[in-house]
């Protein structure tokens, strides 16, 4: 056991995300050996008293076989049609294999709307927590069949991060065809080395993350770093590891030095701030200066107009926006003003806002610290 990773042993509520490249062969058809091993390992952890949640890719790939397709469909309509077939095939496979290991599973299909709307967020949370209380292993996928672009999550790295924040997970494990974050692209550089632990997610992490995944998967390392930024902000640990590695889940959960570990930040977020994190898609972006960035990150300050440099997107008061500095999202929050009003007051002191907007009763803060969650 790695002394540094002993904290992982105590993790009880664990989300496991498995990618299409792990679940399928190069032909695009399901790899039943991998699926069986995954189910066995999750069942063993469940028998130890862990609360296990599986976020599974593979609906489109599972539908390709019955339909006689040799290549992944490209259009959204074709993907949704193939996923409609594949979701049934995949869930039947999971149900049959998990039952052999004495486990009951239940399918949950989500879209971003289930996190974006706060009432749906609470309902999704209650449903998933009740399933865990009843000893059911939730198997979660995006509802590809009906998802529209506006509320489409897009990749299961993001979906698993969203799920982790919804249910207050202790640990998120991303299994794919990569065994962690490297100092360089290992396919191009012989001297690339695996990074065991990432304490701080900064620009360098994104720079070395590389491009897209394999032809069978949609999530490259970049989306995994985005997922890590999201969950660690919610005090959730995350590990990226190879889904083809033997006994990988057990080894991670006993503290072995497998893959890349992202320790969660020491913070306690109430449900409202967890909803802010899980809702994912922001309506717009506010770019701030260095002084504002430091005030938010180091002192937990509200976002004031004086520190705003630029406003992007069209949004209304009450919408969720991303707050950025130097190209990275440092926080998310609920704005008191719409985009055009913020454009008018950016760079000005709070006492000037009433005069600029031409009415009284304005807010001193663009985003109050109670409605803001730090991502750095």
Q: What is the CB neighbour count within 10 angstroms for residue 278? A: 24
**4-265 is classed in which CATH architecture?**
3-Layer(aba) Sandwich (3.40)
Interval 74-78 mean pLDDT: 83
Interval 192-204: pLDDT, tens: 899 999 998 888 8
Binding residue positions for substrate = 57, 144, 156
Which residues are known binding-site members? Answer: 17, 57, 144, 156, 176-177, 218-224
pLDDT, tens digit, 9 for 90 and up, residues 97-124:
999 999 999 999 887 665 566 777 788 8
Indicate the domain borders of the chain.
4-265, 271-372
**What would you report as the CA-atom Rg of the chain, rounded to the nearest whole angstrom?**
21
Is the pLDDT confidence value at 141 over 70? yes
Determine the pLDDT at residue 9. Answer: 94
Per-residue pLDDT tens for 129-138?
999 999 999 9
Q: Which pLDDT score is estimated for 262?
A: 96
**pLDDT of 223:** 86
pLDDT beyond 80 at 339: yes
Say what the pTM is: 0.81
CB 198 within 8 A of CB 228: yes
Closest CA to 37 of 248, 274, 236: 248
Q: Is the pLDDT of residue 311 over 50?
A: yes
Distance (Å, rounded) from C-alpha 113 to C-alpha 310? 27
The mean predicted confidence, pLDDT, of the chain is 86
Binding-site entries for ATP: 17, 176-177, 218-224
Of 235, 367, 357, the C-alpha closest to 301 is 367
pLDDT at position 212? 42
Least confident of 212-226, 234-248, 314-328: 212-226
Domain 271-372: which topology? 2.30.130
Q: What would the mean pLDDT of 287-314 be, rounded to a whole number? A: 94
């Amino acid at each position: 056991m790695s002394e540094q990773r002993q904290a992982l042993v105590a993790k009880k509520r664990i989300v496991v995300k498995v990618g299409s490249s792990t679940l399928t062969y190069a032909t695009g058809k399901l790899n039943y050996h991998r699926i069986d091993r995954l189910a066995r390992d999750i069942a063993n952890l469940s028998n130890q008293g862990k609360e296990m949640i599986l976020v599974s890719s593979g609906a489109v790939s599972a539908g390709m076989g019955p339909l006689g397709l040799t290549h992944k469909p490209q259009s959204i309509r074709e993907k949704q049609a193939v996923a409609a077939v594949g979701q049934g095939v995949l869930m039947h496979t999971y149900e049959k294999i998990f039952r052999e290991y004495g486990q009951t599973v239940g399918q949950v299909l989500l879209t971003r709307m289930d996190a974006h709307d706060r009432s749906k967020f609470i309902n999704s949370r209650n449903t998933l927590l009740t399933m865990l209380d009843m000893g059911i292993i939730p198997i979660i996928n995006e509802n590809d069949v009906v998802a529209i672009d506006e509320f489409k999550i897009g990749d299961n790295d993001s979906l698993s991060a969203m799920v982790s924040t919804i249910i207050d997970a202790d640990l998120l494990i991303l299994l794919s065809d990569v065994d962690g974050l490297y100092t360089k692209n290992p396919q191009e550089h012989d001297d690339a080395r695996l990074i065991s632990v990432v304490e701080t997610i900064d620009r360098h992490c994104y720079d070395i993350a590389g491009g897209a995944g394999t032809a069978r998967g949609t999530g490259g390392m970049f989306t995994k770093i985005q997922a890590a930024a999201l969950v660690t902000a919610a005090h959730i640990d995350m590990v990226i590891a190879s889904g083809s590695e033997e006994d990988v889940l057990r080894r991670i959960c006993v503290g072995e030095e497998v893959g890349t570990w992202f320790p969660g930040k020491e913070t306690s977020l109430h449900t409202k701030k967890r909803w802010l994190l899980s809702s994912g898609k922001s309506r717009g972006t506010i770019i701030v200066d260095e002084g504002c960035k430091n005030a938010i990150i180091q002192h937990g300050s509200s976002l004031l107009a004086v520190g705003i440099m630029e406003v992007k997107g069209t949004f209304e008061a009450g919408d969720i926006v991303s707050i950025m500095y130097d190209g990275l999202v440092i926080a998310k929050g609920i704005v008191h003003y719409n985009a055009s009003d913020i454009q008018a007051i950016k760079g000005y002191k709070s006492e000037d806002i009433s005069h600029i907007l031409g009415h009284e009763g304005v807010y001193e803060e663009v985003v109050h610290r109670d409605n803001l969650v730090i991502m750095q």
